[in-house]
Structure 1
Amino acid sequence: MPQIWLIVGASRGIGFEFVSQLLSLGHTVIATARAPPPIQTTLPPPSQYGNASQLWALTGTPNGRNLKILECDVSSDASINAFTEQVRKFGRKGGVLERGVIDFAVLNAGVLVYPNRISEITFQNFAHHLHTNTIGPLFTAQRLLSLSSPPTTTAGIPVSPTWGPSTPLTVRTLVFISSDSGSTTNFRAFEDGFGAYAASKAALNQGLRHLAAELERKNRWKRREEKTVVLALHPGEVSTDMANVSLDWDVEGIITPRESIACMLKVISEKGWGGSDEGGHLTSMMDGMKEETGAATFWTWEGKRYPW
């Protein structure tokens, strides 16, 4: 059955591959890029808009009509808010979100500026990693979840959007793309030059776990259809331009974006809302593990539980 996916950070690497594979499967995709070109009849030259141009090129594929592209820079509070309101508009009559459900929202935006050793890194560079890898994705998730309620004024008074009434939107599964570098129980001391990146991913992991717990407390009386499953995924050692750096150690098990996404789609389907192992609860019981109700879980692209 066709689903609606939202991919934040889709102009390159695994984000782009997510969009490409989802379109080929017949799903509707809302994707973001930092600066999409204006709507026009001919595609802009690749050099004009950089990586975003290949995302726009997908609109010309057989299922390209199912792709909607919005602008979002997760390092900017204003950009996230503007993007969220654009998503809200899709909930009005005739919009792609008219039925009020985003089946899966994948928060993929991230950055790796190598090297980023804690003993050497600048304040600005460290802040860049934290804003892009931690604060941005978590705040984007917060804003998307707020779409389940009508827009309000600063005083908390509901307002009617000038572009017409919109259906409250429910995000059924939130997927954060994390990394094994962010595991605190499986510390990777050999990763020299990954200090800020690892710290940002560890912070992301803790943030999304708290988010899941907070949602469980706030929404315990809501119907199951209105609740959100929160997942973290490690995509593997994927060969992308972001990972194209010269390292002092051998990286084992390198896979292509196509391999990573094909596997992650299976994991998301299984562990996400309505899946055969929704939230990983069945796996937990089978393994004799005890976990909090509504807790977020961390998985590898192969569907194996990863230590936080």
Structure 2
Amino acid sequence: MPQIWLIVGASRGIGLEFVSQALTLGHTVIATARGPSPASTLPPPPSQYGNASQLWSLTGTPNGHNLKILECDVSSEASITSFTEQVRKLGRKGGVLEKGVIDVVVLNAGVLVYPNRISEITFQTFAHHLHTNTIGPLLTAQHLLSLSSPPPAVSKTPISPTWGPSTPISIRTLVFISSDSGSTTNFRAFEDGFGAYAASKAALNQGLRHLAAELERKRKNGENGRGEQERTVVLALHPGEVSTDMANVSLDWEVEGIISPQESIGCMLKVIGEKGWGGIDEGGRVSAERKEEDGAATFWTWEGKRYPW
């Protein structure tokens, strides 16, 4: 059944492949890139929008008419705020979100500056990893989740009388792309040079777990403005050792089990379908090996296996 997906960080790598495969499945996709939004609906010239050109090229595919591209830089609070307001506008009459539901949000934005050894890294580079891999995705999720409540009564942005007010927008499944480097119980000491990256992903994992717990508490207490039955399933996903330009670094050890973006995304789509909202194993409740609180976030590999936090 066609769904509405929002992919944050879609200009290259696995984010781009997420968009491509979701479109192929017939879904409507809202995707983001860091480049400026064009004034027209035509794809911008590659020289002007850099790495977003591959994303724009998908508008020319058979289902490209189902693709909406917005600007978002998760390392900038102003950009996150502006992006959220653009999403809100899509909830107006005639917009792709007029029914008030985003089935799946994938927060894929990330950075890896190698090496990032803790004993050598600069303040600026460490902060860059934390802003892009941790703070940005979590605050982007926070802003998007706020769309489930009516907009403030006072707004600096005038509402077009043609479109009318925006519909509150709910998110059914919220997916954070994490990494096995972020597991604190399965420490990978041999990954010399991944200190800041691992720290940023470990912090992301803890942050999203707290987010899931907060959402569940608000749901039960009737604080989410959507009713007790309206829940958001929060998942963390490890995409595997994917061959992308971000992972194209010279390492002192052999990386085993390298897979293509196509294989990784194909498998993760299946995991999201099973573990996400309304899935046969929603949130891992059926396959859970131990008792967990309702609404707890769960961590999965691209193969659908539970991964330790």
TM-score by length of structure 2 reads 0.94
Partner of 1:267: 271
Q: 1:261 to 1:58 in 2, by over 3 A?
A: same
Question: Does 1:233 pair with 2:237?
Answer: yes
Measure, in 1, the Cα distance between the counterparts of 2:43 and 2:139: 32
- 5 Å-filtered alignment, 1:144-183, equals 144-152=144-152, 162-163=159-160, 164-183=164-183
- Could you tell me how far 1:130 is from its partner in structure 2? 0.2
Measure, in 2, the Cα distance between the counterparts of 1:209 and 1:6: 21
2:259 to 255, 258, 274: 255
Question: Does 1:3 pair with 2:7?
Answer: no
Q: 1:66 to 1:248 in 2, by over 3 A?
A: same
Q: 1:41 to 1:82 in 2, by over 3 A?
A: closer
Aligned to 1:11, what secondary structure does the other structure show?
coil
Q: 1:94 to 1:41 in 2, by over 3 A?
A: closer
Matching residue's letter, 1:124: Q
- 5 Å-filtered alignment, 1:200-239, equals 200-220=200-220, 221=222, 223=227, 226-239=230-243
Aligned to 1:294, what secondary structure does the other structure show?
coil
Measure, in 1, the Cα distance between the counterparts of 2:9 and 2:121: 25
> Do 1:150 and 1:158's aligned partners in 2 also have CA atoms closer than 8 Å?
no
> Do 1:271 and 1:278's aligned partners in 2 also have CA atoms closer than 8 Å?
yes
Matching residue's letter, 1:280: G
Partner of 1:292: 293
Question: Does 1:51 pair with 2:48?
Answer: no
Aligned to 2:263, what secondary structure does the other structure show?
helix
Measure, in 2, the Cα distance between the counterparts of 1:212 and 1:43: 37
Provide, for residues 59-107 of structure 1, a one-character-per-residue CA deviation record: whole Å limited to 9, x for no partner: 1111111000000000000000000000000000111001100000000
Measure, in 2, the Cα distance between the counterparts of 1:106 and 1:272: 12
- 5 Å-filtered alignment, 1:90-109, equals 90-109=90-109
Q: 1:42 to 1:148 in 2, by over 3 A?
A: closer
Provide, for residues 163-200 of structure 1, a one-character-per-residue CA deviation record: whole Å limited to 9, x for no partner: 33011000000000000000000000000000000000
> Do 2:242 and 2:258's aligned partners in 1 also have CA atoms closer than 8 Å?
yes
Aligned to 2:240, what secondary structure does the other structure show?
coil
Question: Does 1:125 pair with 2:112?
Answer: no
- Could you tell me how far 1:44 is from its partner in structure 2? 3.7
CA RMSD of aligned residues (A): 1.6
Measure, in 2, the Cα distance between the counterparts of 1:19 and 1:182: 25
Q: 1:218 to 1:187 in 2, by over 3 A?
A: same
- 5 Å-filtered alignment, 1:38-77, equals 38-40=38-40, 43-77=43-77
Measure, in 2, the Cα distance between the counterparts of 1:41 and 1:144: 24
Partner of 1:87: 87
Matching residue's letter, 1:21: Q
Matching residue's letter, 2:301: T
Measure, in 1, the Cα distance between the counterparts of 2:99 and 2:34: 27
Aligned residue pair count: 302
Measure, in 2, the Cα distance between the counterparts of 1:39 and 1:63: 22
> Do 2:37 and 2:70's aligned partners in 1 also have CA atoms closer than 8 Å?
no
Matching residue's letter, 1:135: I
Aligned to 2:286, what secondary structure does the other structure show?
helix
Measure, in 1, the Cα distance between the counterparts of 2:5 and 2:229: 17
Where structure 2 has 5 or more consecutive residues not aligned to the other structure, the ranges are none
Measure, in 1, the Cα distance between the counterparts of 2:81 and 2:229: 25
Aligned to 1:51, what secondary structure does the other structure show?
helix
Q: 1:149 to 1:273 in 2, by over 3 A?
A: same
Partner of 1:28: 28
Matching residue's letter, 1:252: E
Partner of 2:112: 112
Matching residue's letter, 2:171: V
Partner of 1:301: 302
Measure, in 2, the Cα distance between the counterparts of 1:303 and 1:240: 21
Measure, in 2, the Cα distance between the counterparts of 1:159 and 1:36: 21
Question: Percent identity over the alignment?
Answer: 82
Provide, for residues 269-303 of structure 1, a one-character-per-residue CA deviation record: whole Å limited to 9, x for no partner: 0000000000101111xx3x111111000000000
Aligned to 2:56, what secondary structure does the other structure show?
helix
